[in-house]
């Protein structure tokens, strides 16, 4: 029976702000090391998983995806999203190498509905233009700690409390 | 794998046979996941008259589940060897940061055996598909190896030029800027385009295929050379048998013996490396200074090498579809481009055609 939690940081570390999902999860691991060492909380950092995302989801009951999103709002805006909300955002990666998160999730629901997690939440971090390089912009880097605290709230089951 | 080979040549590093075998196994994993994706999720839906894998999944969910399982076998093998299933991180100059666990490699053998059976069925499936009538007289370029079907290493060979020494590669095949693209295009020295990828490999190295892959191809009635780019899918299916069969043998014989990484001494030097990525020949050249810093890098990836050939194909192909309604003509051209499995092939609609009448 699946009872574990999975935190998935997604992004491309060589495309600056697109790597913010990876950085937020790493920061959560540092700030909340007690929880990050819990054997029932799995952590994965993925760059462009494409359809490979489905391989990670099928083992878990509760999943949090942490990823950059492009909404047109100020970079650094934090979003608590559900799967259905993804349609309102453009893919932030600027990449055409693979399936996006929304497409992969929709595909999984269609092909493997019984293997998909019981609950799936998304922490989106708004970013601006994606450019090549390492490191985050000042605006996006400034919200890493707050985003990591939201990850912790999700772990504590307090995700819906504002 | 081309990058580490190039840097090892620059630094004078010679890897052990065990490291080479594990690198071949890593490449088998890359082929399995990449070819499964392209055969069933990207080009397959085109040839089955579906808009995408999503609509194919509505009609034939079993086929799509089978494809996902096949792809997962490759991804799992990648994860076990490379540390993660996408963009593996365990490979390094000189070998691997650590040996993968023996039990983890062996544990994947049953799934690899299932994958091999499925790959044989994939060849039968590919042989029965209806392909558009179109052929091109290509110059095929791939690497070849005297003892095996070359994917990890070998010497460059061309169907028109014969053997091309690696230190002459940039003279034989030239990258240039073209006005209409932000990617470099490659041509042979005589200005003509050439083709890399599964069609080139299968046509040039058919006799090096393992008996099982050759048998699957022969039973499917494959006649060489295959000059129809849409039949890249068939070539990929044959290669799928090849790499699954190879992977099983390599997994069985895997022996993590000695150091996983050959020690290196930093020195100034220059090196070239070439391997066959699933999409085709991948060439790297680096110049390293005495501190180990890379001060020159040239990376010639397969998709970029094929751009000029894709354009030449389109020039020849388009007159045959101009009589079709505009959307159908556009789709037919997209299918042609997708048969190459370029990086953009995941996009369902990526091509715009303007017809000047």
Model pLDDT for residues B166-175, shown as the tens digit of each residue:
999 999 999 9
Question: Is residue B287 predicted with pLDDT exceeding 80?
Answer: yes
User: From the list B53, B61, B86, which residue is nearest A46 (CB)?
Assistant: B86
Quickly count: other Cβ atoms within 10 Å of residue B210's Cβ.
17
Higher pLDDT, A102 or B275: B275
Q: What percent of chain B has pLDDT over 70?
A: 98
Measured on CA atoms in the order B88, B94, B95, B96, is the torsion positive or negative? Answer: negative
Nearest CA in chain B to A50: B86
Query: Which chain A residues touch B41 with a CB distance below 8 Å?
Result: 51
Task: Give the model's pLDDT for residue A89.
Answer: 63
User: From the list B85, B87, B350, which residue is nearest A55 (CB)?
Assistant: B85
Nearest CA in chain B to A100: B346
Residues of B with CB under 8 A from a CB of A: 33, 37, 41, 53-54, 57-58, 61, 64-65, 68, 71-72, 75-76, 84-87, 343-344, 346-347, 350
Task: Give the model's pLDDT for residue B166.
Answer: 95
DSSP bridge pairs for A8: A44, A65
3-state secondary structure of A70: strand
Q: Shortest Cα distance from B114 to chain A (angstroms)?
A: 18
User: From the list A49, A54, A97, which residue is nearest B68 (CB)?
Assistant: A54
Quickly count: other Cβ atoms within 10 Å of residue B297's Cβ.
12
Task: Give the model's pLDDT for residue B229.
Answer: 96
Q: Average pLDDT, stretch B304-315?
A: 94
Decide if A66 contacts A147 (C-beta within 8 A): yes
Q: What percent of chain A has pLDDT over 70?
A: 89
Measure the CA–CA gap between B142 and B153, rounded to whole angstroms. Answer: 10
Q: Which of A3-7, A41-45, A123-127, B350-354 has the lowest mean pLDDT?
A: B350-354
Is residue B119 packed enough to be buried (19+ CB in 10 Å), middle (13-18) or exposed (0-12)? buried
Decide if B107 contacts B122 (C-beta within 8 A): no
pLDDT, one tens digit per residue, over A35-60 is 878 888 899 998 878 888 888 888 78
Q: What pLDDT band is residue B80 in, cutting at 50, 70 and 90?
A: very high
Determine how β-strand A119-126 pairs with β-strand A62-69.
parallel
User: From the list A47, A106, A107, which residue is nearest B86 (CB)?
Assistant: A47
Measure the CA–CA gap between B101 and B251, rounded to whole angstroms. Answer: 11
Task: Give the model's pLDDT for residue A102.
Answer: 82
- CB-side exposure of B342: number of CA atoms within 13 Å? 23
Give phi and psi for B279, each to the nearest 5: -85, -10
Question: Is residue B124 predicted with pLDDT exceeding 70?
Answer: yes
Closest CA relative to residue B347, chosen from B47, B66, B53: B53
The contacts of residue B325 (CB under 8 Å, 6+ apart) are none
Higher pLDDT, A132 or B15: B15
DSSP bridge pairs for A70: A90
Record the pTM: 0.89
CA distances, B194 to each of A150, B186, B308 (Å): 53, 8, 8
Measure the CA–CA gap between A91 and A99, rounded to whole angstroms. Answer: 10
DSSP bridge pairs for B269: B288
Question: Is residue B29 predicted with pLDDT exceeding 90?
Answer: yes
* Cβ separation A99–B346 shorter than 8 A: yes
Q: What pLDDT band is residue B348 in, cutting at 50, 70 and 90?
A: low
What average pLDDT does chain B have?
A: 93
Query: Which chain A residues touch B59 with a CB distance below 8 Å?
Result: none
Task: Give the model's pLDDT for residue A92.
Answer: 45
Q: Shortest Cα distance from A162 to chain B (angstroms)?
A: 35
Structure tokens at B267: 């020195």
pLDDT, one tens digit per residue, over B92-117 is 999 999 999 999 999 999 999 999 99
Structure tokens at B133: 């009538």
ipTM of the complex, rounded to two decimals: 0.76
The contacts of residue A89 (CB under 8 Å, 6+ apart) are A69, A70, A71, A81, A124
> Which of B69, B87, B279, B350 to mutate against chain A (most A CBs within 10 Å)?
B87
User: From the list B54, B71, B84, which residue is nearest A110 (CB)?
Assistant: B54
Q: Shortest Cα distance from A84 to chain B (angstroms)?
A: 17
Give phi and psi for A44, each to the nearest 5: -135, 140
Give phi and psi for B337, each to the nearest 5: -65, -40
């Amino acid at each position: 029976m699946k009872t574990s939690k999975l935190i998935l940081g997604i992004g491309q570390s060589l495309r600056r702000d697109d790597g913010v999902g990876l950085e937020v999860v790493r920061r959560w691991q540092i700030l909340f090391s007690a929880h990050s060492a819990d054997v029932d909380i799995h952590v994965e950092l993925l760059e462009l998983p494409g359809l490979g995302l489905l391989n990670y989801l099928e083992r878990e009951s509760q999943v949090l995806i942490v990823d950059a999103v492009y909404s047109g709002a100020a970079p650094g805006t934090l979003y608590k999203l559900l799967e259905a909300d993804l349609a309102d955002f453009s893919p932030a990666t600027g990449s055409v190498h693979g399936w996006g998160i929304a497409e992969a999730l929709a595909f999984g629901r269609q092909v493997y509905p019984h293997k998909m997690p019981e609950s799936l939440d998304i922490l989106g971090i708004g970013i601006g233009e994606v450019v090549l390089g390492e490191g985050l912009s000042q605006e996006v880097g400034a919200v890493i700690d707050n985003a990591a605290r939201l990850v912790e709230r999700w772990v504590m089951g307090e995700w819906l409390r504002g | 794998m081309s990058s580490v080979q190039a840097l090892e040549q620059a630094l004078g590093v010679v890897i052990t046979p065990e490291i080479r075998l594990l690198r071949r196994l890593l490449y088998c994993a890359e082929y399995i996941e990449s070819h499964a994706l392209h055969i069933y999720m990207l080009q397959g839906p085109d040839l089955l008259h579906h808009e995408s894998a999503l609509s194919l999944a509505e009609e034939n969910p079993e086929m799509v589940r089978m494809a996902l399982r096949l792809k997962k076998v490759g991804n799992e093998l990648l994860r076990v060897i490379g540390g993660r299933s996408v963009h593996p991180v365990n490979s390094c100059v000189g070998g691997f940061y650590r040996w993968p666990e023996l039990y983890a490699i062996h544990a994947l053998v049953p799934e690899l055996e299932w994958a091999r059976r499925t790959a044989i069925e994939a060849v039968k499936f590919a042989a029965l598909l209806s392909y558009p009538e179109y052929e091109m007289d290509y110059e095929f370029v791939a690497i070849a190896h005297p003892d095996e079907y070359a994917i990890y290493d070998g010497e460059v060979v061309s169907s028109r030029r014969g053997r091309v020494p690696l230190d002459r590669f940039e003279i034989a095949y030239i990258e240039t800027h073209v006005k209409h693209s932000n990617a470099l295009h490659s041509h042979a020295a005589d200005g003509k385009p050439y083709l890399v990828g599964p069609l080139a490999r299968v046509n040039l190295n058919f006799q090096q295929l393992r008996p099982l892959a050759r048998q699957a191809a022969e039973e499917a009635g494959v006649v060489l050379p295959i000059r129809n780019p849409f039949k890249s899918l068939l070539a990929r299916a044959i290669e799928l048998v090849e790499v699954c069969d190879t992977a099983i043998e390599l997994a069985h014989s895997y022996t993590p013996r000695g150091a996983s990484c050959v020690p290196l001494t930093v020195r100034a030097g220059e090196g070239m490396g070439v391997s066959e990525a699933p999409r085709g020949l991948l060439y790297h050249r680096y110049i390293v200074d005495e501190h180990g810093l890379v001060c020159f890098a040239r990376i010639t990836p397969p998709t970029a090498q094929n751009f000029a050939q894709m354009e030449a194909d389109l020039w020849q192909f388009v007159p045959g579809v101009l009589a079709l309604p505009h959307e159908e003509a556009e789709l037919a051209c997209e299918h042609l481009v997708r048969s190459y499995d370029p990086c953009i092939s995941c996009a369902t609609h990526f091509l715009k055609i303007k017809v000047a009448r």
